């Protein structure tokens, strides 16, 4: 169990894995995404994708009966070609907890030994029912430990084991489990290779995931649910990520006001997270923002954020440095849905680590 959970925040180092394809699977609150990457000479090759709408779930916390997800795994088995023998899966809130640890500086070994003995002090779970790992920025040392504290990553063992069994029953081996925030960092780092400090703003039906990265490393994360629970009903109609992104949609006066409120809330959360991260960590000034997720495609959001923040705002392309065959390039449905694949691509890229 801990074998698939270890090194949860490991960065993507390169792409020298031998001959095995790697599939990353992201089961979102509204859409199932899966990406299979094949080894290539200079870059991985996109071999297969799956994107499929899921039945509406009122709230993420209601996703507790994993037996309901069994058809999803069966669907993957029939749709992904070639059949994926090895997969990596991702987890997100409310099934995973990321917590900064305010502790005196310790070596990696001492920190892990301390957590193994004192884990119950830091998590609201029974220690026996949890799987955990710890992440520390590569440059962390006694001098900046307060500014770049280690991050504890915890999930419920039962949730992870149940999700893994579903794939195993369909003949797919779960080789690793990743966290959405870290998968997004790997995806951006590989495709854009940004030096300096950057923010990833991942917008979906359940809320906003804000991740600060420095170079190729995770630094800070903030996740918030929307203040207005019924944004989803409106935003799902405005840009249908699978069918009509960019085609436009006529809105009434009340809907336009709600959309404006969504823009303002997103801008507020991004601005406050950048301010908090710059004050509470050893990061430099945020040089730009990468937009990801289905709701990031709302017309006008990118320009509004850029004007408010006075920094570059980029709609992410998860396949920017991945070789995409012609059949996918000519698939309008795939092209319209590009920002939805960020987490799945990041998970597939992480699979390269296990084959270095």
Cα(115)–Cα(144) distance, integer angstroms: 20
pLDDT tens-place string over residues 159-191: 888 888 888 888 888 888 889 999 999 999 999
How confident is the model at residue 325, as a pLDDT?
Answer: 94
Instruction: Determine the pLDDT at residue 138.
Output: 60
How far, rounded to the nearest angstrom, does the alpha carbon of residue 334 sit from its chain's CA centroid? 19
Map tokens 């940004």 to a residue.
194
Residue among 117, 121, 116 nearest 101 (CA): 121
Confidence tier at 99 by pLDDT (50, 70, 90)? confident
| Greatest mean pLDDT among 109-118, 197-206, 239-248, 313-322 | 313-322
Which of 200, 194, 191 has its CA nearest to residue 221?
200
Topology (CATH level 3) of domain 2-355:
Nucleotidyltransferase; domain 5 (3.30.420)
Q: Tokens in use for 111? A: 């920190």
Tell me what the mean pLDDT of segment 344-350 comes to. Answer: 91
Domain ranges of the chain: 2-355
**3-state secondary structure (DSSP) of residue 54:** coil
Return d(Cα 248, Cα 237) in angstroms, integer. Answer: 10
Q: How confident is the model at residue 62 (pLDDT cuts 50, 70, 90)?
A: very low
Structure pTM? 0.85
């Amino acid at each position: 169990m801990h074998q698939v959970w270890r090194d949860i925040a490991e960065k993507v180092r390169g792409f020298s894995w031998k001959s095995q394809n790697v599939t990353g699977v992201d089961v979102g609150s509204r859409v199932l995404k899966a990406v299979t990457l094949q080894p290539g000479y200079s870059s991985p090759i996109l071999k297969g994708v799956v994107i499929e709408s899921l039945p509406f779930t009122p709230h993420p916390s209601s996703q507790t009966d994993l037996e309901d997800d069994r058809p999803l795994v069966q669907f993957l088995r029939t749709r992904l070609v070639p059949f994926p023998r090895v997969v990596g899966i991702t987890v997100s809130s409310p099934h995973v907890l990321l917590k900064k640890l305010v502790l005196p500086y310790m070596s990696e070994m001492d920190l892990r030994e301390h957590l193994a003995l004192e884990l119950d002090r830091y998590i609201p779970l029974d220690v026996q029912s949890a799987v955990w790992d710890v992440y520390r920025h590569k440059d962390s040392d006694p001098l900046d430990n307060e500014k770049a504290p280690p991050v504890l990553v915890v999930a419920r063992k039962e949730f992870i084991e149940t999700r893994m069994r579903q794939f195993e029953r369909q003949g797919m081996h779960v080789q690793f489990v990743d966290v959405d925030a870290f998968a997004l960092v790997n995806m951006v780092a590989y495709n854009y290779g940004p030096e300096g400090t950057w923010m990833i703003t991942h917008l979906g039906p359940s809320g906003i995931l804000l991740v600060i990265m420095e170079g190729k490393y995770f630094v800070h994360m903030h996740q918030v649910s929307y203040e207005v629970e019924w944004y989803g009903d409106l935003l799902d109609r405005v840009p249908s990520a699978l069918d009509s992104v960019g085609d436009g949609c006529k809105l009434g006066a009340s809907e336009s006001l709600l959309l404006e409120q969504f823009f303002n809330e997103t801008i507020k959360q991004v601005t406050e997270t950048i301010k908090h991260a710059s004050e509470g960590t050893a990061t430099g000034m945020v040089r730009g923002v990468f937009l990801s997720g289905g709701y990031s495609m709302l017309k006008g959001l990118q320009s509004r954020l850029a004007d408010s923040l006075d920094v570059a705002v980029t709609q992410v392309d998860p396949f920017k440095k991945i070789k995409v065959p012609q059949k996918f390039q000519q698939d309008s449905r795939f092209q319209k849905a590009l920002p939805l694949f960020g987490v799945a691509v990041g998970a597939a890229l992480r699979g390269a680590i296990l084959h270095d």
